[in-house]
Amino acid sequence: MQARLAPQTKMISILILIQKFHALFSHEAETISFLNDENINKKYYQDQIISPAMAVILSQMFQHEPDALMGRLYLKAKVYELFSLYFNSDKQSDIAQCPFLADEENVRKIHRAKQIVVERMAEPPSLPALAEEVGLSLKRLKDGFKQLYGAPVFQFLLDHKMETARQMLSNRSQNVNEVGLKLGYSTSSHFIAAFKKKYGTTPKKYIMSLSS
């Protein structure tokens, strides 16, 4: 494949055997045109607008700092997230699914809501307080945020916290207790449990893996 890219452009290429790719979508193959029996051996190209939810995942992939233990697993999980969004069976754009987001002012308010929870991640406001601060109803905040960022507000915040924790631990500038406190965890055990649930390993083992 040849592509002409403007200066400063970033690109991600995903290489996967067609057989393995087909296996991922075995139950949905007939609804994905290039995987059905008629087209499976043909070349296939498609341009598609990157949705806000996809843009978040791509940004996370670009910002990810590879490491021995989690690098491949993390990127693989993000690729699966991209596939899930890209081949959404309803084939509708984010705006089409949520007409509320066609209003630029509403989108601006939801962007502001994301900025608030990220900036105050150690002590985030409640959903009602957040909705009031950005000037949206609670329902519109919840529905619009999930549509724009692909996850509910506090699931998005948890993912952001865990990614921040992983980066802080990788830098080794703070210990596990300090990282947990900075992210708003009252006890290290709560932080350790959240980290292990996200990455499948404890913060201490993660740090040790960086030296192996």
Q: How many CB atoms lie within 10 A of CB 210?
A: 13
The H-or-E segment that residue 60 falls in is: helix 52-63
- The residue extents of the domains of the chain are 14-47, 157-210
Averaged pLDDT, 59-75: 72
Averaged pLDDT, 95-108: 65
Residue 89: per-residue pLDDT: 44
Cα angle, residue 150 at apex, residues 153 and 199 outer, rounded to 5° = 80
Cα separation, 157 vs 124, in Å, equals: 9
Residue 95: per-residue pLDDT: 45
Residue 102 has pLDDT above 70, yes or no: no
Into which CATH architecture does domain 157-210 fall?
A: Orthogonal Bundle (1.10)
Q: Which residue has the tokens 């404890």?
A: 202
Instruction: Please choose, from the candidates 40, 3, 46, the residue with its C-alpha nearest in 3D space to the C-alpha of residue 19.
Output: 40
Q: Is residue 198 a contact partner of residue 162, using CB atoms and an 8 Å limit?
A: yes
Whole-structure pTM value: 0.58
Could you tell me the two tokens for 192? 């350790």
